[in-house]
Structure 1
Amino acid sequence: MRGDRLLTILLMLQAQGRMTANELAEKLEVSERTIYRDMDALSGAGIPVFAERGKNGGWSLLENFQTNLTGLKESEIQALFVSPSDQLLDDLGLTRPSEEARNKVISSIPAIYREKAKEVWNRIYIDTSSWRSRKEKIDTFDVLKDAIWQDHKLKIVYERADGQISERIVEPLGLVAKGVNWYFIAAKENGEIRNYRASRIHTAVTIDETFCRPEHFNIARYWEGSKKAFIEELPIYDVWVKVPKSMLLTLSFTNHFVRVVEVRAQDHDSFIPVKLSFHTEEDAKRYLLGFADQLIIIEPEDLHHKIFQLAESIVVSHKLGDKRQFRKRVGDCVIHSY
């Protein structure tokens, strides 16, 4: 274990430049006294580590010191060679560079691990797309990619979810892939950071003006916070239904915004009570209508009547018969109630 820790310290100092004993102790989950002993061990092994006192002090390596480290553990090699999403790499134009980088890493690791590293490609494959999703067309993607690397402001024309179109100047901070969809993260001129669905950016023009990125901005931390806030603000409409056991998997195999919240034990009538959560009542009505007589609505009590009215309106709009004939023919078969 100590050998792994010494190697990790060396890697961290090589990457960070300077770290305090406290920082190293926290990251490695050991005491500062242990770190001091490890530094003595590294120094004794001929590694040029030295400490600087003062406010900005800490442990560091002699300037320009580099070492070729091949002490990767097997699990670390596996982590490096797990295949990323081909589609996302292709979107970023990094498919070929990714393959070339992995080949270079393979050539640098010990021979005893080389074949195991290659085998990872044949044993684990990551596909981030859903079964029915289609790839979004993003005409401005190349401009967005260039802007986040160059720190140039952009003038974009953006279409909101409600169809409203506006023009704005933004400061590009990054791109986030959620499933197969891309989101453009940028700061407005007042400093407020916003998320933009990349496929809804109609045009993006680079402005010959740079900006300073927000200090300590971390895109992963920002996205997790933004996602959590978005989920918490979503409206909730819960529905209890009864379904045959064979339908349980079908309930969530859909593109609708529905979530299976709770599944109870099977009733005496061979139906299973299930709690479904939607964003709105309208979402629930349209989703449940699609199952026709295959499920039974328990709560809310008035929902079955509202769905029945929706079904009637569909029949009338398609001129398949008048309402009286529809009621007589369908009866309680479309949606059962209690």
Structure 2
Amino acid sequence: MAMRGDRLLSIVLLLQSYGRMSAKTLAEQLEVSERTIHRDMEALSRAGIPVYAERGKNGGWRLMEDYQTKLTGLKEQEIRSLFISPSLQLLEDLGLARSSREARHKLIASLPPLYREQAKEVWSRIHIDTGTWRNQKEKIAAFAVLQKAIWRENKLKIIYERADGNTSVRIVCPLGLAAKGRVWYLVASHGESVRNYRASRIRSAEPLDETFTRPDDFNLAQYWEASMKSFIDNLPTYEVRGLAAPAIVPRLMFTGRFVKAVEKEAPGEDGWIPVTFSFDTEREAKEYVLGFGDQLKVTEPPELRKALIKAAEAAVDFFRREYE
């Protein structure tokens, strides 16, 4: 069905470009039989596309005069991609939720009848939700200021809170906003480098009268992909090997935010299943393993085994003092 839909749109675009074409020429262009072209013309006519045949030696298929497709060159899959529901949460953050809905309605109205209903169907079949189950939205005090500065290319004086709680004052050139999940980042140049600033940590932002020249070769999407890859490649890794009780293996497959990878092997003769985890730090590994009690054994590294014993003994001593 998708292939035929693309072919029908191609026929309309060919007739629009060349005016009149014979069934033979159309068949050669689209690599189908002339019989298929005649069936396609019937389908186009039923869909409301004004095609008609001219008889005679120089005859062929034509579109009614002045008829123009309104989405020139778009294939069926391409049209569908335009109607995938965007993230409502991110559109709301940007103040564009209502505008997005109105734009999609206008886009549907501009489609040929052949694709209008199919485009509407995309809304009812695919929905993207970037919110979390608890949906704790980060408060961004200066979000509107950031957006205006990006469009107007104004330099910004920001007070930024680092991860350690300390703040600093910086003059930056805002290049764009990027969302990772529901978390927004300001991408801005500072000196000779381009950096990412978590928008919720920008305590204040003051636009300056001074503007800047945006680099012609800066591509936000390409920069962000490279930045994320560099961040991931440079994350510390702490690998842990162990044995898991069969009952908890399904839970291990749905790892938490600290675990980057989980691999499992065939069960041993005793039924325990060898597993491999990759964490950022020893502390994260220790807290994760302790959460499974006697259902998860650590075999490597040996220093983690010692840290687990020490942490478990400290927990037992604490509970005895508090509850006995």
Shared fold, TM over 0.5: yes
Q: Does the CA-based 8 Å contact 1:256-1:287 persist in structure 2?
A: no
- 1:108-154 Cα shifts (integer Å, max 9, x gaps): 10112111111110100111234455221111111111111111111
Residue 255 of structure 1: CA displacement?
A: 4.6
Q: Matches of residues 33-182 of structure 1 in structure 2 within 5 Å?
A: 68-70=70-72, 72-132=74-134, 134-182=136-184
Letter in 2 for 1:78: R
Q: Does the CA-based 8 Å contact 1:252-1:258 persist in structure 2?
A: no
Distance 1:138 1:285, change over 3 A: same
Q: Does the CA-based 8 Å contact 1:241-1:296 persist in structure 2?
A: yes
- 1:271-294 Cα shifts (integer Å, max 9, x gaps): 221111111111111121122122
Q: Matches of residues 1-338 of structure 1 in structure 2 within 5 Å?
A: 68-70=70-72, 72-132=74-134, 134-188=136-190, 190-251=191-252, 253=254, 255-318=256-319, 320=321
The normalised TM-score by structure 1 is: 0.72
Distance 1:215 1:70, change over 3 A: closer
Q: Does the CA-based 8 Å contact 1:153-1:206 persist in structure 2?
A: yes
Q: Does the CA-based 8 Å contact 1:315-1:321 persist in structure 2?
A: no
Q: Which moved more, 1:124-133 or 1:213-222?
A: 124-133
Counterpart CA distance in 2 for 1:68 and 1:118 is 17
- 1:156-204 Cα shifts (integer Å, max 9, x gaps): 111111222111110000011101111110000x221000111111111
Distance 1:246 1:114, change over 3 A: farther
Q: Does the CA-based 8 Å contact 2:184-2:199 persist in structure 1?
A: yes
Q: Which moved more, 1:310-319 or 1:223-232?
A: 310-319
Counterpart CA distance in 2 for 1:69 and 1:321 is 71
Counterpart CA distance in 1 for 2:307 and 2:262 is 23
Q: Does the CA-based 8 Å contact 1:70-1:110 persist in structure 2?
A: no
Counterpart CA distance in 2 for 1:298 and 1:253 is 21
Distance 1:162 1:296, change over 3 A: same
Q: Does the CA-based 8 Å contact 2:90-2:182 persist in structure 1?
A: yes
Residue 82 of structure 1: CA displacement?
A: 0.6
Report the 3-state secondary structure (helix = DSSP H, G, I; strand = E; otherwise coil) of the residue aligned with 2:123. helix
Residue 71 of structure 1: CA displacement?
A: 5.1
Return 5+ residue gaps in structure 2 as ranges. 1-5, 17-67
Counterpart CA distance in 2 for 1:287 and 1:86 is 33
Letter in 1 for 2:121: E
Q: Which moved more, 1:240-249 or 1:102-111?
A: 240-249
Distance 1:70 1:268, change over 3 A: same
The normalised TM-score by structure 2 is: 0.75
Residue 266 of structure 1: CA displacement?
A: 2.2
Counterpart CA distance in 1 for 2:312 and 2:255 is 20
Letter in 2 for 1:269: D
Counterpart CA distance in 1 for 2:319 and 2:143 is 42
- 1:209-250 Cα shifts (integer Å, max 9, x gaps): 110012210011111111111111111100012223442342
Return 5+ residue gaps in structure 1 as ranges. 11-65, 326-338
Equivalent pairs counted in the alignment come to 266
- 1:81-111 Cα shifts (integer Å, max 9, x gaps): 0101110111111111110010001001011
Counterpart CA distance in 2 for 1:163 and 1:199 is 13
Cα root mean square deviation, aligned: 2.8
Q: Does the CA-based 8 Å contact 2:154-2:210 persist in structure 1?
A: yes
Distance 1:279 1:69, change over 3 A: closer
Counterpart CA distance in 1 for 2:169 and 2:318 is 39
